[in-house]
Amino acid sequence: MGAYILRRLLLIIPTLLGIMIINFVLTQFVPGGPVEQVIAQMQGQGDVTAGFAGSGNDAGMDVPDNEEYIGARGLPPEFIAQLEQEFGFDKPPLERFLNMMWNYARLDFGESWFKKQEVTDLIIQAMPVSISLGLWSTLLAYLISIPMGIRKAVQDGSRFDSWTSTVVIVAYAIPGFLFAILLLVLFAGGSYLQIFPFRGLTSEQAVWDTLTWWEKVGDYFWHITLPVVASTISAFATLTLLTKNSFLDEIKKQYVITARAKGLSERQVLYGHVFRNAMLIVIAGFPAAFISIFFTGSIIIEKLFSLNGLGLLGFEAALQRDYPIVFGTLFIFGLIGLLVGILSDLMYVLVDPRIDFEKREG
């Protein structure tokens, strides 16, 4: 197993490099780069480059500050060249890519062009929201789906199986953001009850500081209840059907018939023999399921509940062409995703020691 893990770890380097190359090349053909974004904002909203070091009058260039000049006469070529230098576009693409990868290899992800903060700091600030949504949504989906899926498999074709299948299909069909709006209307003071708060991961700082530690725990769960439920609905439906179908496949196998013929009780057959084999794909997929929700948390749900998570951070960076955030998060997420793939394989071996990836590769 050690040799297999080592090979997988070594494969991370070319795989991650390929991901970065493809995305870097694609961005070269995307219209409306960061320079164009700044120019468009300046023409519509005045001088927004005050935050750029060495831009405008600070760089010694005679650029009028009034909006009439910017809107009517355009920007001087010298200022455009200064912007390109600030963003690094005065260098060839290959040189920019090699410099970026060298910095990333040293875990230096640079500074956001528009937010004027370190990329790592922005990611760390957004982490609590994404971890909260990803962790609790995944746990809630597993806690509901596994027992329900097992019971549906055992009572296949019964009335319970029929009405829960209806619930599962409806849950799968409802988009998470639409369900989030429904929850807000019903339980967050929209038109009916005001049981849960409307926004934020916790109460305002002034209130938060006055709470005891157990009150802070309660306040935290009070705030995340609605967004977590909204994020769980589709994952719960998929996982329930996966669990049911996995158990049905195992129940029909010969070893189950043999176990029953030996006089074992239905509970012993189900949880002593079927459970480990049926749950292999479900339990081993937990890391991937968590990372999936963690990375791809609904942007709309974050927006609806005023949660500044990684999904919203990446979306805003893509709109602004804030490439340090775009490529920095892509590198980090790609690396974590590849490591989680190895972790998923280890989970398979942990659940069922009979699996040997080295022999399968041989």
For residue 261, being part of any structural domain is answered with yes
Per-residue confidence (pLDDT) for residue 356, from 0 to 100: 66
* Averaged pLDDT score across all residues of the chain: 78
* Dihedral sign from CA coordinates of 225, 228, 232, 234: positive
Q: How far apart are the C-alpha atoms of 345 and 361, rounded to whole Å? A: 13
Q: What is the C-alpha radius of gyration for the chain, rounded to an integer number of angstroms?
A: 26
Q: How far apart are the C-alpha atoms of 162 and 168, rounded to whole Å? A: 10
Count: domains in the chain: 1
For residue 109, being part of any structural domain is answered with no
Domain extent, residue 231, equals 120-351
Least trusted range by pLDDT, from 74-88, 248-262, 304-318: 74-88
pLDDT band at 68 (very low <50, low <70, confident <90, very high): very low
Q: Which of 287, 256, 263 is nearest to 350 (CA)?
A: 287
The answer to whether 243 and 150 are in contact (CB under 8 A) is yes
Per-residue confidence (pLDDT) for residue 190, from 0 to 100: 65
Q: How far apart are the C-alpha atoms of 328 and 314, rounded to whole Å? A: 10
Per-residue confidence (pLDDT) for residue 35, from 0 to 100: 74
The pLDDT tens digits for 122-144 are: 988 888 888 888 888 888 888 88
The pLDDT tens digits for 159-200 are: 998 999 998 888 888 887 888 888 888 888 766 777 888 788
Which residues contact residue 182 at a Cβ distance below 8 angstroms, ignoring those fewer than 6 apart? none
Per-residue confidence (pLDDT) for residue 318, from 0 to 100: 84
Q: How far apart are the C-alpha atoms of 354 and 208, rounded to whole Å? A: 50
pLDDT band at 22 (very low <50, low <70, confident <90, very high): very high
pTM of the model as a whole: 0.72
Least trusted range by pLDDT, from 6-10, 292-296, 327-331: 292-296
The answer to whether 180 and 227 are in contact (CB under 8 A) is yes
Structure-model confidence comparison of residues 362 and 176, the more confident one: 176
For residue 166, being part of any structural domain is answered with yes
Structure-model confidence comparison of residues 147 and 355, the more confident one: 147
For residue 62, being part of any structural domain is answered with no
For residue 57, being part of any structural domain is answered with no
Per-residue confidence (pLDDT) for residue 352, from 0 to 100: 67
Which residues contact residue 105 at a Cβ distance below 8 angstroms, ignoring those fewer than 6 apart? none
Question: What's the whole-number mean pLDDT along residues 22-48?
Answer: 72
Per-residue confidence (pLDDT) for residue 154, from 0 to 100: 85
CATH code for the domain of 306 = 1.10.3720.10
Which of 88-92, 118-122, 173-177 has the highest average model confidence (pLDDT)?
118-122
The answer to whether 18 and 355 are in contact (CB under 8 A) is no
For residue 222, being part of any structural domain is answered with yes
Instruction: Please determine, for residue 52, whether its predicted confidence score (pLDDT) is greater than 50.
Output: no
For residue 338, being part of any structural domain is answered with yes
H/E element holding 46? none
For residue 272, being part of any structural domain is answered with yes
What percentage of the chain carries pLDDT values higher than 70?
82
The pLDDT tens digits for 271-320 are: 777 887 787 777 766 666 666 666 655 677 888 888 888 878 888 888 88
Could you tell me where the DSSP H helices lie in the chain? Answer: 2-27, 34-45, 67-73, 77-87, 93-105, 119-154, 159-173, 176-187, 205-208, 213-251, 254-261, 266-269, 275-278, 280-284, 286-295, 299-304, 310-320, 323-351, 357-361
* Dihedral sign from CA coordinates of 176, 178, 181, 182: negative
**CA atoms within 13 A of residue 71's CA, in its CB half-sphere:** 6
Angle between helices 119-154 and 159-173 (to 10 degrees): 160
pLDDT band at 21 (very low <50, low <70, confident <90, very high): very high
- The SS3 assignment for 192 reads coil
Which of 213-227, 252-266, 337-351 has the highest average model confidence (pLDDT)?
213-227
